[in-house]
Amino acid sequence: MVKQSTIRYYYIKPEKIHYLSFILEAYEGVAVVTTIDRSRGLIMLQISPGQEDVMDALITCEKDSLGLQPFAGEENIETLERRPAGSDENSLC
């Protein structure tokens, strides 16, 4: 049986998204960061099966410097994921 990645959503300081990506590149195979809404700092983490404890430790160590907060689900995440490029005021597209 193939295990699925664990999906988690977080808010992060927008200017720190790249820093989190670099950290996770150093921990190869732990997780992948996807930016959902850059202007608001909403990200998705796809955590590899069996790597949840490593990711939890990284979040504990870096949460203050990155401003990481779990996404509480006050909005429909599918709506945010389907937002067209250029729909936020800070878009580069």
Angstrom distance (rounded) from CA 13 to CA 19:
10
Question: For the chain, how many helices (H) and strands (E)?
Answer: 3, 4
Judged by DSSP in three states, 22 sits in helix
Nearest to 19 by CA among 68, 57, 70: 68
Give dist(CA 31, CA 52) in Å, integer: 9
- 50 three-state secondary structure: coil
User: Whats the size of the chain, residue-wise?
Assistant: 93
Rounded mean pLDDT for each run of 10 residues along the chain, 93 residues in total: 91 97 95 96 97 97 95 68 52 40
Q: For residue 83, what pLDDT is reported?
A: 56
How far apart (Å, rounded) are the C-alpha atoms in residues 40 and 43? Answer: 9
Domain boundaries, the chain: 18-72
Which pTM does this prediction carry?
0.77
**Model pLDDT, residue 72:** 81
